[in-house]
């Protein structure tokens, strides 16, 4: 079979694994970078030329002047995208119809989605970013969504908008003091402004991607969030509203599975999650705050402090299996400096039974106890090491244990936020 030059970058935990840096690092050798799911609830932090950039919708490959694609599986907030492009232009990066392509089939986040997100969060307490992501995906699957191709046709848009407001306003009016007419007027004004801005970028991204892959261009697929936030295979219901797993690429881009080749899993050297939900290896002592400060574990989108815990091989094995991951990248290894001992969860225990696979039961997820092994920590500074063989013995031991219990080789290590603080093995 022809070797299609495609690489998928998948988060193996609850997101925040450092995918942005890895995509930025690998994008030097790529031609196109593709986002295939999620919305501006994602935040990818990249350090480039000693400056920090936080991107939410546009792939971090834009910093390397690569061509970027926002595919049909992404939900797009036009105002958020506009602001992100203005931010990049202000920083000296060109964003034009020649290097950014947006699917005409992507669904649009509108102001009422954000209102509904706030309403839902009050009752569900999932810990969402309240950016309107979930309600927009809900509209997509209830067949009342508005796609970018609809958004660009004003008469089509206004017709669909009025139907949606008729359905949603009775709930919204209980929480927001705005009349139905004023809400429609406000949204139409937004549409007139942002549809003109969006139009040059909009195209059929499925045909675009098939054509460039067939021609041999290198395409990088970038997931937002991580496997454990996948709506089907994560810690449901404390998940995102889309499929960050590798299977989401076909649906989120329209590409047949035959085009999806190498899969790289991004894994943090410990575990974090933002928001509510089960977290078996969460550290319940002052050590959590120490680790949070070491790793600067605060959400790129919301600024919320991330919950921190020990490395969970049950979670990573689950991700490796679901995504058919070929190799791992281990990030933030340097942040474990000064912690002794280091622990790795190798299984869960519930009512005397050991679980080596991540359980679907929300009861077991929340009540299971982690089974740990321990290994000696390290006090050496890692950020200036550039070769694997020069890593301290205890660090190598920790790496070997992760590889053993996950069953997959680690081929790349991130030892700092800057791109050059990276070891290729």
Residue in 16, 117, 150, 230 annotated catalytic: 16
What is 12-57 written as a DSSP string? -SSS-SSHHHHHHHHGGG-SEEEE-SB-TT--EEEEETTEEEEESS
User: Active-site residue 204, yes or no?
Assistant: no
- The Cα–Cα gap between 394 and 123 comes to 46
DSSP letter string, 214-234: HTT--EEEE-SS-GGG-TTTS
DSSP 306: P
Write down how long the chain is: 425
One of 44, 56, 107, 318 is an active-site residue; which one?
Answer: 44
d(CA 235, CA 259): 29
The answer to whether residues 9 and 35 touch, using CB atoms and an 8 Å cutoff, is: no
3-state secondary structure of 354: strand
Residue 307 · residue 277 · CB < 8 Å: no
117 is catalytic: no
Residue among 220, 208, 243 nearest 60 (CA): 220
Classify burial at 213, counting beta carbons within 10 Å of its beta carbon; exposed 0-12, middle 13-18, buried 19 or more: buried
Q: What are the catalytic residues? A: 16, 44
């Amino acid at each position: 079979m022809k070797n299609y030059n495609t690489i998928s970058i998948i988060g193996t935990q609850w997101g925040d694994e450092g995918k942005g840096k890895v995509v930025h690092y690998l994008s030097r050798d790529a031609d196109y970078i593709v986002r295939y799911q999620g919305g501006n609830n994602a935040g990818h932090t990249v350090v480039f030329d000693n400056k920090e950039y936080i991107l939410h919708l546009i792939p971090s490959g834009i910093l390397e002047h690569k061509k970027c694609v926002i595919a049909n599986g992404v939900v797009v907030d036009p105002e958020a995208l506009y602001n992100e492009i203005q931010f990049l232009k202000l920083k000296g990066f060109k964003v034009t119809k020649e290097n950014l392509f947006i699917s005409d089939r992507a669904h649009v986040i509108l102001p009422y989605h954000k209102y509904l997100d706030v309403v839902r969060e009050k009752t569900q307490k999932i810990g969402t970013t309240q950016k309107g992501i979930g309600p927009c995906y809900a509209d997509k699957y209830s067949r009342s969504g508005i796609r970018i191709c609809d958004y660009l046709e004003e008469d089509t848009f206004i017709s669909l908008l009025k139907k949606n407001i008729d359905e949603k306003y009775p709930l919204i009016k209980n929480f927001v003091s705005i009349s139905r007419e004023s809400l429609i007027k406000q949204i139409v004004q937004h549409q007139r402004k942002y549809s003109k801005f969006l139009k040059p970028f909009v195209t059929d991204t499925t045909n675009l991607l098939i054509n460039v892959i067939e021609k041999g261009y290198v395409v990088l697929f970038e997931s937002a969030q991580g496997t454990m936030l996948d709506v089907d295979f994560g810690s449901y219901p404390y998940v995102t509203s889309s499929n960050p797993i590798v299977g989401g690429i076909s649906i989120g881009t329209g590409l047949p599975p035959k085009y999806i080749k190498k899969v790289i899993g991004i894994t943090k050297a410990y575990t974090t999650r933002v928001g509510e939900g089960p977290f078996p290896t969460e550290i319940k002592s002052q050590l959590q705050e120490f680790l949070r400060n070491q790793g600067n574990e605060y959400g790129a989108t919301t600024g919320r402090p991330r919950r921190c815990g020990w490395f969970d091989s049950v979670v990573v094995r689950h991700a490796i299996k679901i995504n058919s991951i070929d190799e791992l990248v281990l990030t933030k290894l340097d942040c474990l400096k000064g912690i002794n001992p280091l622990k790795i969860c190798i299984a869960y225990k519930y009512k005397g039974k050991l679980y080596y696979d991540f359980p679907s039961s929300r009861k077991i997820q929340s009540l299971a106890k982690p089974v740990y092994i321990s290994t000696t920590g390290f006090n050496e500074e890692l950020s200036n090491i550039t070769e694997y063989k020069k890593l301290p013995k205890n660090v190598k031991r920790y790496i070997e244990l992760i590889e053993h219990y996950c069953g997959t080789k680690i081929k790349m290590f991130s030892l700092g936020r800057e791109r050059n603080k990276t070891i290729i093995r």
